[in-house]
Amino acid sequence: MKVFVDGQYGTTGLKIHKRLSKRNDVELLSISAEDKKDPEMRIKVLNEADIVFMCLPDQAAREAVTLIKNPNTLVIDSSTAFRTHDEWTYGLPELSVTQRVKISSAARVSVPGCHATAFILAINPLVQMGLLPPGYPVSCQSLTGYSGGGKALIEQHEAGRYSDVNDSLKHPQHYSLSLEHKHLPEMKKFTALAFHPVFLPTVCNYYNGMVMTIPLVTRLLTNQPSLQEIHAALTDYYQGETFVKVFPLDDTKGISPYALDPTLCNGTNCSEIFVLGNDDQVLIACRLDNLGKGSSGAAIQCMNIMLGLDEGLGLIEGSANKV
């Protein structure tokens, strides 16, 4: 199987390339240094590949997909460009009981954003099961490592370790204060909410890992469900899922202040959901690696499904070619 990572030197591209380089069922295509500026060579490789991972800025991704004329080349895009596009399949297998079937038959798959993945995993089941009204005024906050900001932000933070010039970067930085984050359209569409959530993302001074928290007031939910009923709904929805774990309520009693450490899923394709609080006010938290289930791991999970392979191939302990 021939695979080309277009944009392999970006954060996500590097992770995908590293994971796939350890698999014996993959032939990674590349373009030599002398041919990198030759557009014809890039077109040739794009159309020679069985699978193309596009790890590019939005506009570059839109342009790249037009260069692929081979009807047999499957494309997995990690940008925001196609996530709500009707002709692309959303690459979140755990979205519904039919989503894996859609991914398995798709030629074009768009990998969800990291914040969107955590939000949708936490909220979508409650909407689908009738506990959370589509018109509920949802708010959420996400703490994430600075790798989520790409090369420029990574360089700023790395430089800040050795310079007082970027001393402010050592502290949490709220961003998207206009409340117009680029993940909002997919967060709304794939939870069937009537309105965008109020979303405040925060970059912290660590490399990767994230936790999304979503407070709910149960008196505004359908039939005023208890903490236990909300927990049961999420547990039932993800029963049997490999990469989504809902922590038992007994495990969250007297929870430590450090239990929601955003980095504890790092290096995995796992996401972990906590249901906290009480019958009046519930806090749902979803933790994942923004470079794992939030990008590169999710992309490879989708590739495995599209090719009819073991979904966990290269992603979990005990699978062949594990990373």
Residue with tokens 């990008």: 295
Two tokens, residue 23: 């698999």
Two tokens, residue 7: 């944009």
Q: Which residues, in sequence order, are bridge partners of residue 3?
A: 28, 51
Three-state secondary structure call for residue 288: strand
Query: CA-CA distances (angstroms) from residue 93 to 292, 303, 309?
Result: 14, 11, 14
**Catalytic residue positions, numbered:** 114
Which of 175, 223, 222, 220 is CA-nearest to residue 199? 175
Planar angle of CA 64, 45, 63, nearest 5 degrees: 5
CA 20 to chain centre: 18
Three-state secondary structure call for residue 230: helix
